[in-house]
Structure 1
Amino acid sequence: MTIHNLGDTNSLMNKFIAEIRDVAIQKDTMRFRRNIERIGEVLSYEMSKSLQFEKSKVTTPLGTKELQLPTDQLVLCSILRAGLPLHQGMLNYFDDAENAFISAYRHHEGDEDAFEVIVNYFAAPSLEGKILVLADPMLATGRTLENVLKALKKHGKPSQIHIVSVIGAQAGIDHVQKVFPKSTHLWISAIDPELNTRGYIIPGIGDAGDLAYGAKL
């Protein structure tokens, strides 16, 4: 897997990351969602540089201009519900992409630290021969992405897989490297060193879904 850690470079995206981490600023749920969306836009722009382009002529009112335009067919797949703001940021840039949505959540039996990942909803076009882009804002243990990959197999074989995440834990990234194809690309804005006993990223941001849309039962 090729890892593109954009947090290693100085850019305006670091401001958005700082705000979603800040315990005071992240209380503004609208700003939190917008910051995740903006991070999705930046990651999408960087990812676009790795796609296939071909020359195409565009007619203007005064003549024609030859430009390099993208040709790949993308399917953006969001992992509900936390992935929605990130998905929207990606869709702002890849506005002609097809879309898929999958529900995957952690089930803690009896409030224990151990959990299983349950996938129980999926809606998508065929993935055959297309570029699959998985939007998962918090790459913690990597088990959610692993189960999503298994669920997607019956919908066709993509030509390539890209994972777009906001923050990941090193352990989760290591796990994803083991279970995803070697040709997979990971586009991420920050990598944190560890997980707590419940599988949350430290220092991370907390629960991205709760911060974006409110606490769940």
Structure 2
Amino acid sequence: MNIHNLSLQNSILNQFISEIRDVNIQKDSMRFRRNIERIGEVLGYEMSKSLSFDPKVVETPLGNCKIDLPQKDIVLCSILRAGVPLHNGLLNYFDTAENAFISAYRHHEENPESFEIIVEYLACPDLENKTLILADPMLATGKSMHATYEALKPFGTPKAVHLVSIIGSQQGVNYVNENFDDNTHLWIAAIDKRLNKYGYIIPGLGDAGDLAFGKKLQH
């Protein structure tokens, strides 16, 4: 796997990451969503440098201009519900992309420290020979990302796969590295060292879905 860790070089991305982590700033859910969106834009820009481009001729009022433009073969798939602001940020830059959505959640039985990933809702266009961008803001264990990709396989075989996350654990990065093809790309804004016993990233930022959209009902 090709791992692109954007935190290895200082940029304005540091500001957005610090704010989504900050326990006081993240209380403003609108700002939290907007910061996730802005991080998605930065990740999308960096990822765009690795995509396939074709030469085009653009007509201006004063003549023609030759320019390389990205191929319009992208399918952007995000994991509900936490992935929505990240999806919007990526879509701001890949505005001609087709869109897919999938729900994946942790199902705990009696032991709160163990869980399985359940995939329920799925809406996806044809993926055959397209560029798949699979986005999930938190790469904790890596199992949600992998379960989502497995669920997408009946829709076709992409020519390229790009995973996009904001914060991951080293364990999650290792998991996707072992379970995805060598030519897969991972674009990530920060990698934290560990998970706690409940599978949450430390120091991380908490539950991204709850911070963006409010706490879930417990049932």
Please say whether Structure 1 and Structure 2 have the same fold, judged by a TM-score greater than 0.5: yes
Partners of 1:85 and 1:125 lie apart in 2 by 21
2:2 is matched by which residue type in structure 1?
T
| SS across alignment from 2:110 | helix
Cα deviation for residue 111 of structure 1 reads: 5.6
Partners of 1:146 and 1:59 lie apart in 2 by 44
Q: Which residue of 1 aligns with 2:155?
A: 155
Q: Which residue of 2 aligns with 1:102?
A: 102
Partners of 2:193 and 2:183 lie apart in 1 by 24
Alignment of 1:157-196 (within 5 A): 157-196=157-196
1:73 is matched by which residue type in structure 2?
D
Q: Which residue of 2 aligns with 1:25?
A: 25
Cα deviation for residue 72 of structure 1 reads: 4.7
2:190 is matched by which residue type in structure 1?
A
Q: Which residue of 1 aligns with 2:121?
A: 121
The answer to whether the 8 Å contact 1:140/1:172 transfers is yes
| SS across alignment from 1:191 | strand
TM-score by length of 1: 0.98
Identity of aligned residues (%): 64
The structure 1 segments of at least 4 consecutive aligned residues displaced by more than 2 Å after TM superposition are none
The answer to whether the 8 Å contact 1:138/1:166 transfers is yes
Partners of 2:197 and 2:82 lie apart in 1 by 21
RMSD of Structure 2 on Structure 1 (CA): 0.8
Structure 1's unaligned 5+ residue stretches are none
Partners of 2:139 and 2:43 lie apart in 1 by 15
Q: Deviations over 1:118-173 (max 9, x none)?
A: 00110010100001100100000011111111111111000111001000000011
Q: Deviations over 1:63-98 (max 9, x none)?
A: 111111111500000000000000000000000000
Q: Which residue of 1 aligns with 2:89?
A: 89
2:132 is matched by which residue type in structure 1?
L
